[in-house]
Chain A
Amino acid sequence: RKEVEQDPGPFNVPEGATVAFNCTYSNSASQSFFWYRQDCRKEPKLLMSVYSSGNEDGRFTAQLNRASQYISLLIRDSKLSDSATYLCVVNRVTNTGKLIFGQGTTLQVKP
């Protein structure tokens, strides 16, 4: 079983739709959680960190459920520019900050 698992998609949605991505992690020692965005042939860029209380940044909302070892990302009012691969990333700080990547979920927003 992979340490961080995501549904690879692709998710094809119309502009304006709400879409949710899920991610599960297997190591309960994981300390920090992130969503990164990666455009085709570009480097991953931090979208948002995920806090235990949940957090929101504009149209994006991230949630963490430590008991179920589950992370989610909700995108409201999808834009064409949201089309990208979204990577769930877990940081086991107790192991000198090793970042573990999920395989990524591809989102395609269509006009």
Chain B
Amino acid sequence: DTEVTQTPKHLVMGMTNKKSLKCEQHMGHRAMYWYKQKAKKPPELMFVYSYEKLSINESVPSRFSPECPNSSLLNLHLHALQPEDSALYLCASSQDPTLTMVTEAFFGQGTRLTVV
């Protein structure tokens, strides 16, 4: 099973709403990532969790709040977003971020978020 599952696939939310994006993998991967992708741009890293601890926050605004409840799950809590936050949010996982070996990442299908 080389699958990363994200829910929901589509989300429309108002600027005052609170919502959460969910990501799950059962490959035993110990690194999990959130990326944001705007149209015709490459994915931009937001957060990295390594062994369930937040290891990288790429200066993401606090209206995005990540959470890693266990090694298989990754959430992204959204609150008071702006229309410019509309994008494809991608979750990814990779095997072990501390090994000096090839560690390709597997991506979920993404959540297409629209903020109105």
* A residues apposed to B, CB below 8 Å: 31-32, 34, 41-46, 49, 51, 87, 91, 93-104
Contacts and interface: CB of A to CB of B under 8 A. Distances in A.
Interface in B35-67: 41-45, 48, 50, 55-56
A16 B100 CA distance: 38
8 contacts: A32-B102, A43-B90, A43-B109, A44-B43, A93-B101, A96-B55, A98-B45, A102-B42
Interface residues of B, number: 30
Contacts of B104: 32, 34, 46, 49
Interface of B: 31, 33, 41-45, 48, 50, 55-56, 88, 90, 92, 94, 97-110, 112
Given A44-B43, A97-B31, A100-B45, 16 more contacts: A43-B107, A43-B110, A46-B105, A46-B106, A49-B104, A51-B102, A87-B42, A91-B103, A93-B97, A93-B101, A96-B48, A97-B48, A97-B98, A99-B92, A101-B43, A104-B42
Consensus secondary structure, chain A interface: mixed
A42 to B, nearest CB: 7
A99 B102 contact: no
Q: Identify the 4 closest CB pairs spanning chains A and B, nearest first.
A: A97-B97, A101-B42, A43-B107, A96-B55
